[in-house]
Amino acid sequence: MAVPVYWWFVDSLLLIVIVLVALLVGLLVRRRLLARPGRAFDMSVTRGTESQAKGWMHGLAVYRDTELVWFRTFSLSWRPRYRFTRGDVQIDGRREPVGLEVHAIHAGHLIVGTENASGVRQLALSPNALTGLLSWLESSPPGQRVNNVL
């Protein structure tokens, strides 16, 4: 007895749905495990210096002892995409998003300029996360450069 052709289509469609659900669950579990220590917050980054929507990437920033690590939101990688070492990051000013930037980053986030070794030139984060980041940068352990906030 031959299997109708449409059953192959149904089986293929079911397999695609299962794979997509597994990817979604993988992304959610990854984010939950990365944020588990409680030192994580949403932060978008761009390597550009212009005020435009192009180039912004959404992610999750996690504080570690001497560095801030940033993971892309839509990635299954357990390795951070960027590392910001405390003492080597300078924050320069803050501004509201303008133009199409409003749609490229999370609602309510502020944009700050930055100088660092990773090549990221702007960060977008909530006002509370910005206060925490500035506090973390200014409270460097003894012997490290401090007050890199301009």
Rounded to two decimals, the pTM is 0.78
End-to-end CA distance of the chain: 77
Where do the domains of the chain lie? Answer: 1-34, 38-138
43-68 residue pLDDT tens: 999 988 777 778 899 999 999 888 89
Q: Read off the pLDDT of each residue in 6-33 and give the average, rounded to a whole number.
A: 89
Could you tell me the pLDDT band of residue 109, with boundaries at 50, 70 and 90?
very high
Q: Does domain 38-138 have CATH number 3.30.428.10?
A: no
pLDDT number for residue 118: 86
Average pLDDT for 70-81: 87
Band (pLDDT 50/70/90 cuts) for residue 141 is low
pLDDT band at 81 (very low <50, low <70, confident <90, very high): very high
